[in-house]
Structure 1
Amino acid sequence: MPHFHFHSVRLVKALLACAMLLASYAGAAEKLANVTILATGGTIAGSGASSTTTVGYTAATVGVERLIAAVPELAKVAQVKGEQVFQIASENMSDAYWLTLAKRVNVLLAQPDVDGIVITHGTDTLEETAYFLNLTVKSKKPVVLVGAMRPGTALSADGPINLYNAVLLAASQDAVGKGVLVAMNDQIHGARDVSKTNTSTPDSFKTPELGMLGYIQGNKPYFYHVSTRKHTADTEFDVSKIDTLPQVDIVYGYANVNPVALNALVAAGAKGIIHAGVGDGSLAAKVTPSLTAARKQGVLIVRASRVGQGIVARNGEANDDELDFVAADTLNPQKARILLMLALTRTSDSKQIQRMFYSY
Structure 2
Amino acid sequence: MSKKKIAVIGTGGTISSIGRNPFDIQDYITLGKMMNAAEMVEFFADVATLADLVPISFPPMPSTAIAFDEYVMILERIDAVTADPEVAGVVILHGTATLEETAYALNLTAKTEVPIVLTGAQRPASGLSTDGAMNFANAVRVAASQEARGMGVLTLLNDEIQCAREVTKTSTWRMQTFRTPDFGALGHADADRISFYRRPMRPGAPNGPFDIEALKKVPRVDVSYAYAGCDGTAVRAFVAAGAKGIVSAGFGPGFVPPAEHEALAEAVKAGVTVVQSSRTGSGRAAIVTRQREAGLIGGDNLNPQKARILLALALTKTSDPEAIADLFATY
* Cα pair 2:10 2:60 within 8 Å, conserved: yes
Match of 2:57, SS? strand
Structure 1 residue matching 2:252: 3-state secondary structure:
coil
Distance (whole Å) between structure 2 residues aligned to residue 128 and residue 183 of structure 1: 14
Give matches, 1:60-75, under 5 Å: 61-75=34-48
Letter in 2 for 1:36: A
Residue of structure 1 in register with 2:18 after alignment: 47
Greater shift, 100-109 or 164-173, is seen at 100-109
Deviations 1:287-329 (A, max 9, x none): 12221111111110000000110111122xx534322211111
CA distance 1:86–1:272, change in 2 (3 Å)? same
AA paired with 2:124? P
The alpha-carbon deviation at position 354 of structure 1 amounts to 0.8
| Partner residue in 1 for 2:54 | 81
In the alignment, which of 183, 190, 196 is matched to residue 223 of structure 1?
A: 196
What's the counterpart of residue 240 of structure 2?
267
Preserved contact between residue 253 and residue 285 of structure 2 (Cα < 8 Å):
yes
**Cα distance in 1, alignment partners of residues 83 and 199 from structure 2:** 24
- The range that moved more, 321-330 or 298-307, is 321-330
Residue 301 (structure 1) aligned with residue 274 (structure 2): yes
Structure 1 residues 228-267: aligned runs within 5 Å = 228-240=201-213, 242-267=215-240
The alignment status of 1:341 with 2:312, answered yes or no, reads yes
The aligned amino acid for 1:336 is A
The answer as to whether partners of 2:36 and 2:59 remain within 8 angstroms in 1 is no
Residue matched to 1:110 = 83
C-alpha deviation, 1:49, in angstroms: 1.6
Distance 1:242 1:330, change over 3 A: closer
What's the CA shift string for 1:244-283, capped at 9, x where partnerless? 3111000000001021111111111100000001111102
* Displacement of 1:163: 0.4
Q: Deviations over 1:210-233 (max 9, x none)?
A: 111010012521000111001112
Specify the SS of the correspondent of 1:135: helix
The residue identity in structure 1 corresponding to 2:267 is A
- Counterpart of 2:69 (choices 74, 96, 104) is 96
C-alpha deviation, 1:65, in angstroms:
1.7
Q: Please give the alpha-carbon distance, in whole angstroms, between the structure 2 residues aligned to 1:242 and 1:198.
A: 29
**SS of 2:276's equivalent?**
strand
Identity %: 39
Measure, in 2, the Cα distance between the counterparts of 1:242 and 1:332: 20
Q: Which amino acid aligns with 2:115?
A: P
Question: C-alpha distance in 2, partners of 1:234/1:61?
Answer: 33
Q: What amino acid maps onto 2:272 in structure 1? A: V
Specify the alignment match of 1:12 in structure 2: none
Q: Deviations over 1:143-191 (max 9, x none)?
A: 0000000011111111011101111111111111111010101111110
Distance 1:241 1:335 in 2: 16
Find the residue that maps to 2:277 and give its secondary structure.
strand
**SS of 2:176's equivalent?**
coil
Corresponding residue SS for 1:41: coil
Matching of residues 83-232 of structure 1 within 5 Å: 83-232=56-205
Cα–Cα, structure 1 residues 352 and 228, in superposed 2: closer, same or farther, change >3 Å? Answer: same
5+ long unaligned stretches in structure 2: none
- Alignment deviations for residues 18-46 of structure 1 (CA, whole Å, 9 cap, x no partner): xxxxxxxxxx12xx221100010000011
Summarize the Cα distance change of 1:240–1:286 in structure 2 as closer, same or farther, 3 Å threshold. closer
TM-score (norm. length: structure 2): 0.96
- Local SS of the residue matching 2:139: helix
Which of 265-274 and 219-228 deviates more?
A: 219-228
Contact 2:160-2:188 at 8 Å conserved across structures: yes
Aligned amino acid, residue 259 of structure 1 = G
